[in-house]
Chains A and B, each alone.
Chain A
Amino acid sequence: MNDLFAVVMLLGIYSLLSASFFVAMDAVDVAFTEAAVGAGISTLLMLVVITMTGRKENTKRHKPFLALIVVIFTGGLLLYGTFDIPHFGSADSPIHNHVTPRYINDSINEIGIPNIVTSVLASYRAFDTFGEVVVIFTAGIGIMALLSVAHHSEDNHKIAAVNDSMHERYLVIRIVSKILIPFILLFALYVQFHGDFGPGGGFQAGVIFAAGIILYSMLFGLSITRKVISQPFIQIISAVGVLLYGSVGLVSLLQGGNFFDYNVLLTDPVAGQHLGILLIELGVGCTVTSVMIMIFFNFAERRELQQHNNIHNKDLES
């Protein structure tokens, strides 16, 4: 299959499928994230890039033998390794008996929220999550460093003309989206604050919120969206998210605890945990939303620039 468009679409299907698999394996939070990220954001980004780079793939393979050897060797090694793995679903394998029992049995007393995934994520292993936020922040900054363009104010109307072709043609979808977008944003907020009790949390909420805004910008044009959410504003929000997360840790340092020790935030340890988790989830939500929007904007802006150059070239030719 050498049509990249089709490949990306199949990748979207694959992502949905693996998300359903995650639900069947009880990993609801992961399924949530995979659906929002794999089927939503990453498919969109790939599509944007394909429109800029071309749809066809050169069918010629290079180094197929090297690839085959590497693959056979690695696969063989892994296959060899699987023979001593505890069997699927067996309750007596080490991972269910060593560290995890404390999370399952004591987290409700120590942290006080029913979703164990959230309590492990945001309290026991809060630093991993901090790292995760920094990873996504890094990606945002890196993409900005690679793609950000200085603005060409002239000829803006031409870009707008290319851009707006979508919503002039599709009245129905515009109206439906107008109904849906507020709902999407509201739902994102619900996911953000309901993460303690059900599946969800800052990351998922951030992605959904960003998806809502991306939908808006796809239908109503980038320039209009940029008027509401400007690039500097987005950058500040992404920085503020990381800083909010980190400063929860710093405050707990000042209160005399270890870094990310939420017990010392308030006099009641469990209430302190609640507050800490709420704040850091907010930080995660801020950063993820803004970075996702930032990434999409940079990609789409670059695409506009290309179109702009194309138009310009055509003008010169004629």
Chain B
Amino acid sequence: MITGLFNNWIVIVLMMSGLYIVIAHGNLIKKLIGLSLFQTSVFILYISMAKVEGGTAPILAENIKELSNPLPHVLILTAIVVGISTTALGLALVIRIKEAYGSIEEEDIQILDNLPQSKTQKKIMDGEQ
């Protein structure tokens, strides 16, 4: 019972720590790291479901009978690509945000957004000096 579901519980712990980082951390890069942790844990969920006891990698060869399920592997290959695309795009946004706001902390950005434009300009200048 316990051993059969253990993998899923590990996944849940990883997934939830990722989600927590995304929500609770204010630093945008940390948020993206949390996001990629969150996504990677889903990969582990998929891959661990594909495993068959006694099977080996799904590449046909002589004298090999049991194979693990290839379909989740295919899906996760696609999902990894999606993950890196999202992360890269997010990082590009972070660069632009840093240039525009002078900070990558969520709190600072929210403060700067609520100030009138002229004041914010000044504040950024102050911050940079």
Q: Which residues of A does B touch, CB under 8 Å?
A: 4, 7-8, 11, 14-15, 18, 21-22, 25-30, 33-34, 37-38, 41-42, 45-46, 49-50, 52-54, 57-58, 60-64, 66-68, 70-71, 74-75, 78-79, 82-83, 85-91, 93, 95-96, 99-100, 103-104, 108, 114-117, 120-121, 125, 128-129, 131-132, 135-136, 138-139, 142-143, 146-147, 197-199, 203, 295, 298-299, 302, 306
Are A45 and B40 interface neighbours, CB within 8 A?
A: no
Measured in the bound complex, the distance between the Cα atoms of B93 and A15 in whole Å is 23
| A139 in contact with B89 (CB, 8 Å) | yes
- Complex: A54 Cα to B7 Cα, angstroms: 37
CA distance A139 to B83 in the complex (A): 11
B16's partner among A62, A71, A87, A302 (CB-CB below 8 A) is A71
* Contact status A57-B27, CB under 8 Å: yes
Interface size on B, residues (CB 8 A): 76
Tell me whether B112 is interfacial, beta carbon within 8 Å. no
Contacts of B29 in A (CB 8 A): 4, 46, 49-50, 53, 57
A125 to B74 Cα, complex, angstroms: 9
- Are A58 and B27 interface neighbours, CB within 8 A? yes
A25 contacts B59, CB within 8 Å? no
Partner of A116, one of B59, B66, B83, B85: B59
Cβ 8 A contact of B80, one of A37, A54, A120, A128:
A37
- The interface of chain B, by Cβ under 8 A from chain A, is 3-9, 12-13, 15-16, 19-20, 23-27, 29-30, 32-33, 36-37, 40, 43-44, 47-53, 55-61, 66-78, 80-89, 91-96, 98-99, 104-107
Query: Nearest B residue to A48 by beta-carbon distance?
Result: B91
Contact B24 A30 (CB under 8 A): no
* Cα distance A302–B97 in the bound complex, in angstroms: 13
> A42 and B19 in contact (CB under 8 A), knowing A22-B47, A120-B74?
no
Query: Which residues of A are found within 8 Å of B58, using beta-carbon distances?
Result: 26, 104, 115-117
Q: Is there an interface contact between A199 and B59, defined as CB atoms closer than 8 Å?
A: yes
> What are 24 A-B pairs with beta-carbon distances under 8 A?
A4-B27, A11-B37, A15-B40, A26-B51, A27-B57, A27-B68, A42-B87, A45-B87, A46-B32, A49-B91, A61-B26, A75-B12, A87-B5, A95-B50, A95-B71, A115-B60, A116-B70, A128-B75, A128-B78, A135-B82, A147-B92, A147-B95, A197-B59, A295-B92
Query: Is the Cβ of A11 less than 8 Å from the Cβ of B33?
Result: yes
- Report the minimum CB–CB distance from B87 to chain A (whole Å): 6
**Contacting residues, chain B, for A299 (C-beta < 8 A):** 91-92, 95
Q: A298 contacts which chain B residues (CB < 8 A)?
A: 92
Interface centre among B20, B55, B69, B104 (most CB of A within 10 A): B69
Measured in the bound complex, the distance between the Cα atoms of B16 and A38 in whole Å is 20
Most central of B47, B88, B96 by chain A CB within 10 Å: B88
Interface of A is mostly: helix
Measured CB to CB, the nearest residue on chain A to B29 is A4
Contacting pair B96 A82 (CB below 8 A): no
Q: Which chain B residue lies CB-closest to A115?
A: B59
**Contacting pair B70 A117 (CB below 8 A):** yes
A34 surroundings in chain B (CB, below 8 A): 43, 80
Contacts of B15 in A (CB 8 A): 74-75, 78
Report whether A85 and B5 are in contact in the complex, using a CB–CB cutoff of 8 Å.
yes
Contacting pair B19 A71 (CB below 8 A): yes
The 5 closest A-B pairs by CB, nearest first: A87-B4, A139-B85, A67-B23, A67-B24, A89-B53
Bound-complex Cα distance A28 to B26 (A): 36
Among B23, B71, B92, contact of A70 (Cβ-Cβ < 8 Å) = B23
Q: Nearest Cβ in chain B — how far from A284, in angstroms?
A: 10
Indicate whether A74 sits within 8 Å of B51 (C-beta atoms), given known contacts A25-B68, A26-B58, A49-B29.
no
